Amino acid sequence: MDFAYSPKVEALCTQVRSFMDACIVPRIRQWHDEVGAGRYPVSFMEELKERARAEGLWNLFLPHLRDDEPGTRLTNLEYAPLAEIMGRVPWASEVFNCNAPDTGNMELLHMFATPAQREQWLEPLLDGKIRSAFAMTEPAVASSDATNITTSIRRDGDDYVIDGRKWFITNAAHPNCKLFIVMGKTDPDAPSHRQQSMILVPADAPGVKLIRNIPVVNHVAPEGHCEIEFKGVRVPRSNLLGEEGGGFALAQARLGPGRIHHCMRSIGAAELALELMVERAQARTAFGKQLHEHGPVGEWIAKSRIEIDQARLLVLKAAWMIDNVGAKEARKEIAMIKALVPSVHTAVCERAIQVFGAMGLSPDTPLADSWTWGRALRFADGPDEVHLQSIARMEVKARRHEPGKDNPYLTPLL
């Protein structure tokens, strides 16, 4: 495994960094002002998207882009440092058409959509003309276990009829969100992993109702994490994604790359928090010393550097594995980064907040927002505990204890 960035990736990093410095960072204040005034999408988003696309910084996340599809075909390993740079500003990835959950949805459509579905939904998504949402989680059941999902997708003549309630559906409040990929049950009597299917639901279909945009740690995201009701929603049979009963397998296929992208961006967010922490620790003096000269603060800086570098290396390993042996074989590494990186993200933000004093909790630094998002990521795409449990299962399976056979390292010394 060689994680050194190639000259091509180094050049792209320089390009994305320059774009961030020239076009995105100077707009942070304006983004907050416009969103605060109820203007979303912000007035400059389309202009920035056009510019990024013209510079070849578009759809950088999709290694399997076809020749006739717009974008820059990169491996996951090549994409990782670019996503990290984008992760420094929460809304930056949309400028490059690399934002969740559209990326995961595009990957899913790329793998499983019929030619008609590709034309209707994938092409406008790849062009950044529409946005989309992925609707699996439900208020009524523990949704980290996908077999619990209760939304019904019932066949009726040439249509399917969808009934159910979802929540925390990211992007659903985005005015350009035109598509929901909905997970539900087509056959409640089938074996547990064959009951679910995914279906494409236009956001304006009769019976789709946005109930509310749910604040996350009292922070309202303009793109939304929404509660949605699907009541008697009727779509043609041709809207089924993949085969009936294939929803569980599709969910697994979707979550691999989606998870790694979040982790890549989180490394960038943590790196920014450390940068701010170090600067602040040099800029302020208390009790006769610069803050970093006080033992605990120095330790927080050092620990943060160690944890970020560990996390980055593990993310790069997971990316390398996805590229070289596929997401299925890389599932342990994907679970490992998903269980690790959001905690590193929040731990570094937490320390940086403390070093900033009261200001760390104010909107005058990006730290409070960043902590909130890191915290949310400990649930989004599955809670930590589920990933830890899968890792433990795989470890135990790989070292199945044979009865009567003792490990030779267990040598009685007395």
Ligand X SMILES: Cc1cc2nc3c(=O)[nH]c(=O)nc-3n(C[C@H](O)[C@H](O)[C@H](O)COP(=O)(O)OP(=O)(O)OC[C@H]3O[C@@H](n4cnc5c(N)ncnc54)[C@H](O)[C@@H]3O)c2cc1C
Report, in Å, the least distance between residue 174 CB and ligand X.
Answer: 11
Cα-trace Rg, the chain? 23
Residues in the chain: 414
**Given the complex with ligand X, which of 81 and 342 has the nearer CB atom?**
342
Report, in Å, the least distance between residue 169 CB and ligand X.
Answer: 5
Pairing of strands 177-185, 131-135: parallel
Helix or strand run (H / E) with residue 282: helix 247-283
Q: Three-class SS of residue 360?
A: helix
**Given the complex with ligand X, which of 88 and 254 has the nearer CB atom?**
254
Q: Residue 409 CB: number of other CB atoms within 10 A?
A: 5
- Look up tokens 């995201």; give the residue: 221
**Given the complex with ligand X, which of 293 and 384 has the nearer CB atom?**
384
Report, in Å, the least distance between residue 149 CB and ligand X.
Answer: 9
Report, in Å, the least distance between residue 378 CB and ligand X.
Answer: 8
**Given the complex with ligand X, which of 78 and 381 has the nearer CB atom?**
381
Please check whether residue 264 is in contact with residue 341, taking contact to mean a CB–CB distance below 8 angstroms: no
Q: Where are the alpha helices (DSSP H) in 55-178?
A: 76-86, 92-95, 102-112, 115-117, 123-126
What is the torsional sign of CA 47, 366, 267, 22?
Answer: positive
Report, in Å, the least distance between residue 276 CB and ligand X.
Answer: 23
- Look up tokens 């009951």; give the residue: 195
**Given the complex with ligand X, which of 148 and 238 has the nearer CB atom?**
148
**Given the complex with ligand X, which of 97 and 151 has the nearer CB atom?**
151
Residues that bind ligand X (CB under 6 A): 101, 133-137, 142-144, 168-170, 216, 225, 376, 379-383, 385-386, 389
How many angstroms separate the CA atoms of 256 and 251, rounded?
9
Report, in Å, the least distance between residue 11 CB and ligand X.
Answer: 34
